[in-house]
Amino acid sequence: MGDDGRIVVEVLLADHPFEGFLDPVRRRAAEFGAAHPDYEVRISTYRYWAETGREDFIRILDRGRVPALVDVFFTETQHARDAVAATGGPLFTPVQRAVGGRREILGEPVVLDDFVDSARRYYSYDGELVSMPFSVSTGLLYANMTMLRAAGITEVPQDWDGLEAACRAVVQTDGGPPHAIAWAVDGWFFQGAVCQQGGLLADHANGRSGRAQKVDLASEELLAWATWWQRLHKDGLYFHTGAAQDWAGTFEAFIEGRVAFLCNSSVMAQSVVSAGAQAGIEVVADGLPRNGAVPYSGDVLGGDSLFLAAGLPPEVEDGALAFLQYLLNPEGAAAWHKSSGFIPVTHGSHRLLEAEGWFADKPHHLEAPKQLDASDGTPAATGALVGELANMHADLVQAMRDVLEQGADPARRFAQATDAAQQRLDDYNRRTVERHKAHWLEAAQLTPRTSDRGPGTT
């Protein structure tokens, strides 16, 4: 209870390095409190992307006590599912289980069945929605159509071969840029490329049918992507800034006209299009190019979801669940899309935006939902659910830097990355099992066995 007697729902959100990023959520929290005078939603934040942000967040989980709602970056989904409460048992409870089939909570209509399919699949396990998709994104290809038309290209390429040919045409044009394409050296793009080709990063159906025990960072699909990338770089078509995860540097190269193509997050669609217009560039957003030699499976999503703490008092749990429905009702999800750039995560919000003419005026916002909707729904397309995914991304980044900067052989270098990632996953799984066993033993010691009871007891 708060000092004023209201029921307090504590919410921990991931803040982004953009001014006023969470202001819309804070407004929704205030509106919810006004509509439900018995409740107060209190928001605190953490910076996952800060220098020690991930370590700080893991420490929050490992303490075993969390606020009612916790915003979890997608790479930490398995860690959140494995987290143990200080009192024993899971730290979080599945949202769908807590809703329990209700159609409304505290008068707020339940939106669990309205999520776009790709988001619902990613955050579900055994058909049960574990956490609420909140901020969902995917990768997009941004094209400088002004530059492309000068090279005789009128449409954005759809596959790797077409993109490579367009890159060569652009740099060979009189007055063309020194390079043709840029994207950050980031593990997310590796995941996306493997997803597109129907490949798996982990066993047990990418960790979807059981705990992931084995990883493969040197699969046929991953090496196809890495060797194509290596060729673009060797031929001077790909622009490498020399830094890992240089999202800002690649963005600047595109806006300054030093490349004709940029692969970046769909969250940046409005920023890329607006900055391009200010620079006199016509920018078109399209789906990421695909390996045309294999069937397309889907593209991985990014972003984060909201987990519900286990063991809450019933009135607090209902308040948290009701706030989730309010936050992501059609108006709320549409407003979050407009302010943040993340996709409208429910069908209702998409319909609302469409009726308003939002997509007709800003067609670049349609590409991410369209790309995610094209998924075939397989575990490959859904993406990997695996422990230490963030560090696996780091292994991929370092391996690719060695390929680009030192000429390392991709097959050999990514086999080494697999060994490192496997050791890390083995350690993670062992620690997880040991932690769970410790809590099981503690619980067993606190529960009297039949043989320990006195005569005549049952």
DSSP class per residue in 327-366: HTSHHHHHHHHHHH-----BHHHHHHHHHHTHHHH-GGGT
Residue that the structure tokens 């009128």 belong to:
154
List, for residues 67-104, the tens digit of each pLDDT value: 999 999 999 999 999 999 988 899 999 999 999 999 99
Query: In percent, how much of the chain has pLDDT > 70?
Result: 95
Assigned token pair, 170: 């652009």
Q: Cα–Cα distance between 235 and 17 in angstroms, integer? A: 35
pTM: 0.93
In CATH terms, the fold of domain 139-300+380-418 is: D-Maltodextrin-Binding Protein; domain 2 (3.40.190)
CATH domain 7-136+302-373 topology? D-Maltodextrin-Binding Protein; domain 2 (3.40.190)
H/E run at residue 305: strand 302-309
171 SS3 class: helix
The pLDDT value given to residue 419: 98
Task: Indicate the pLDDT class of residue 448, thresholds 50, 70 and 90.
Answer: very low
Terminal Cα distance for the chain, rounded: 39
Span 276-303, pLDDT tens digits: 999 999 999 999 999 999 999 999 999 9
> What's the chain's average pLDDT?
93
| Confidence label for 452 from pLDDT (cuts 50, 70 and 90) | very low
b/e per residue 226-265 (b: at least 16 CB within 10 A): bebbbebbeeebbbbeeeebbeeebbebbbebebbbbbbb
Strand pairing report for 139-144 and 181-183: unpaired
In this structure, are residues 267 and 340 in contact, taking their beta carbons and an 8 Å threshold? Answer: yes
| pLDDT value at residue 19 | 84
pLDDT tens figures, 177-211: 999 999 999 999 999 999 999 999 999 999 999 99
State the Cα–Cα distance between residues 46 and 102, nearest whole angstrom. 32
- Rounded Cα distance between 293 and 80, Å, is 37
Share of the chain above pLDDT 90, in %: 89
Beta-bridge partner residues of 308: 69, 93
The average pLDDT across 33-62 equals 92
- The pLDDT score that the predictor gives to residue 246 is 96
- pLDDT confidence tier of residue 1, bands split at 50, 70 and 90: low
- What pLDDT is recorded for position 446? 47
Cβ contact 262:272 at 8 Å: yes
Domain with CATH 3.40.190.10 in the chain: 7-136+302-373, 139-300+380-418
Average pLDDT over residues 411-433: 97
